[in-house]
A = this chain, B = another copy of it.
Amino acid sequence: MTEIDKVTAAPESPEAFSRRIAELSESLPKRLRQCAEHIALNLDRIAVSTVAELAEGAGVPPSALMRFCQIMGFSGFSEMQRLFRDAYSGARPDYATRLANLRDGGGGAPGALLAEFVDAGRASLERLAQQVNENTLETAVSMLSGARMIHLAGFRRAYPVAAYLAYAFDRMGVAAQLHSGVGHMDQARTFLPDDALLAITFAPYSGETVDLVKGALGRGVPVVALTDGPASPVALPGACILPVEEVDFGAFRSLSATLALAMSLSVAVGARRGAV
């Protein structure tokens, strides 16, 4: 019987819902597990789908999906759906509307520009979350955590990111050096054993950054690069590449995703050093 399950209260937030699925899915029989898997991968569709649609997606009859809802602690599908509908409306009251209004200001109006930049930033962040490879990220953190000194390279539009990293590392007591790019220094003296290089560069790539990366690799210094894809000139053998595809608006690139990735890196490194 499922009586034991029904005693447990229904999840009250999408997060709790996810957790509950993770707990249960081990012990579920075939059809119910199919439901759990499909639902877990399509949480965002619950609010706008019918039982029949979700059931078809999961490859089960509607009645199986109903049983799933009840095992999750809800009285039925409608109750489960209400959770997601409420969460949806609550989370972004009328953000889309507001954005549309700002845009309507028209061509040159600052508000319209802002709407575009906000949208580009948000799109970049969402894309980053979907495309990031956790293993690569983990590798990058390991490489940087082991370094005695972290060199930071980023010029032109990448410079603000490098500058932010310098600030963050400084705050956490991690030794880091922000390279200025003016006056090519003697790389033999710059890169010491146990150093690492964190480079940030996007098309059009700056020559200084590429040179620094090559120099570091030539000396066996580990390199982590935030760049815009595997076609980048810094995507050389031995370098750990973290791709970030920013959404552009006009000639100007949102840095939201790059900064979010940079912040995660720096905090993860700081935490691993035990400095926070």
Contacts and interface: CB of A to CB of B under 8 A. Distances in A.
B134 A111 contact: yes
Contacts of A47: 47-48, 88
B97 A44 contact: yes
Contacts of A52: none
A185 interface: no
Contact of A48 (B85, B256, B264): B85
Contacts of A93: 44, 130
Contacts of A128: 114, 118
A139 B43 CA distance: 43
A219 interface: no
Nearest to A155: B167
A68 interface: no
Contact of A111 (B88, B99, B111, B137): B137
Contacts of A156: 167
Contacts of A130: 93-95, 98
Given A121-B121, A159-B167, A97 B41 contact: yes
A125 B271 contact: no
A163 B167 contact: no
Query: Which of A22, A104, A263 gathers most chain B CB within 10 Å?
Result: A263
Given A47-B48, A102-B129, A111-B137, A40 B97 contact: yes
13 contacts: A15-B100, A43-B100, A110-B141, A111-B134, A111-B138, A114-B129, A117-B263, A118-B128, A160-B160, A160-B161, A160-B259, A250-B267, A256-B260
Given A160-B160, A252-B267, 6 more contacts: A41-B94, A44-B97, A111-B132, A121-B121, A159-B167, A160-B167
Closest 10 CB pairs of A and B: A160-B160, A114-B264, A48-B85, A110-B268, A256-B256, A117-B260, A160-B164, A111-B134, A113-B264, A110-B137
